Amino acid sequence: MTAVTAPARTSPQAPARPRRTLDWRLRFGVLSLIWGFSFLLIKVGTDGYAPFQVTLGRLLFGTAVLAVAMVVKRERLPRGARTWAHLTVAAFLLNALPFSLFAYAELTIPSTLAGICNATSPLWGMALSLVALSEDRPTRLRVAGLGLGFLGVLTVLGAWQGFHGLDARGTALALLASLSYPIGWIYLRRTLADTGSSALSMTGGQLLLATLQLAVVTPLFTSFPSHFPLVPLLATAALGALGTGLALLIQYGLVAEVGPTTAQMVTYFIPVIATAAGVAILGEPLSWSTPVGAAIVLAGAALTQARGRS
């Protein structure tokens, strides 16, 4: 949710003309493309830099975009030691940890598989919310969606072949990254649901803290690059400025205009775009089980988001 500012006063004779914005469907499509291509950008970035370096660069560029947006909108960072303490945990769970895990995963798995693993986040979220959030009651439809979704995961991984040719470590890292997101959101929901700060302000502080976390960790596990390959550097910059900073700004607008339920539907387009980009641009292999399993995962994820009538 974004901050809502009070409209300027105008006379009855001269009502203010509403500011025209790009249609939400177009912004939805742009957001799907940006996040879908993010997995390709991670792959290209890790071709020239260590995973922690790619993640640090991503956070630096993403934080810079949000900082500019906060200056333009005259937003301030959140206040209060309690808020910053909880944001530190959220920054780790929602940014530093999953971004790093995906970067390490794509050292050994295709970007297409990483994108599909990302689509399991709603499945993990539904399973966790049944335990952690008392207001989320299980229904037969949602439980069926959970089972269907994980059946899709097994299809993507080729379980009937004994996971032949699958890099278990990289796949496990990608699935852990997707699990980290719902854990982070549940934590935020429990601790920072009503702070009085805007979503832009909270996320700006969160990305800043995640950047500081990676700035501490990266020098401990990597050495300073002896040279700077241009294409991986540009991919990392695009991953941060577009895939993190701009994407979050677009998401804020969508949530404010059409609500979180419609906005989160972008999750179901990401693996489709990630798969198409990986196959068409990077030449990654594609077997029949990948698109079929991805479709099953998305169907299951959609069912887990179904809400009964109150």
Q: Using one digit for the tens of pLDDT, what is the confidence trace for 95-118?
A: 999 999 999 999 999 998 899 899
DSSP 43: H
- Please give the pLDDT value at position 268: 78
- Specify whether the CB–CB gap between 167 and 70 falls below 8 A: no
Q: Please state the pTM of the whole predicted model.
A: 0.84
- Specify whether the CB–CB gap between 106 and 170 falls below 8 A: yes
- Please give the pLDDT value at position 228: 93
- Please give the pLDDT value at position 84: 95
pLDDT at 16 over 60: no
Most confident of the ranges 104-108, 150-154, 155-159 = 104-108
Res. 3 pLDDT band, cuts 50 70 90: very low
Least reliable range by pLDDT among 3-12, 37-46, 53-62, 266-275: 3-12
* Residues above pLDDT 90, as percent of the chain: 47
What is the Cα gyration radius of the chain?
20
- Specify whether the CB–CB gap between 269 and 32 falls below 8 A: yes
Q: What is the mean pLDDT of residues 209-217?
A: 97
- Please give the pLDDT value at position 221: 95
Closest CA to 237 of 24, 95, 78, 53: 53
* Average pLDDT value for the chain: 84
Least reliable range by pLDDT among 4-13, 110-119, 200-209, 297-306: 4-13
Q: What is the mean pLDDT of residues 34-45?
A: 96
pLDDT at 50 over 50: yes
Least reliable range by pLDDT among 11-20, 172-181, 278-287: 11-20
Task: Classify residue 10 as left (phi > 0), alpha (psi -120 to 50) or beta.
Answer: beta
Residue with tokens 């693996």: 271
Q: Which residues contact residue 262 at a Cβ distance below 8 angstroms, ignoring those fewer than 6 apart? A: 254
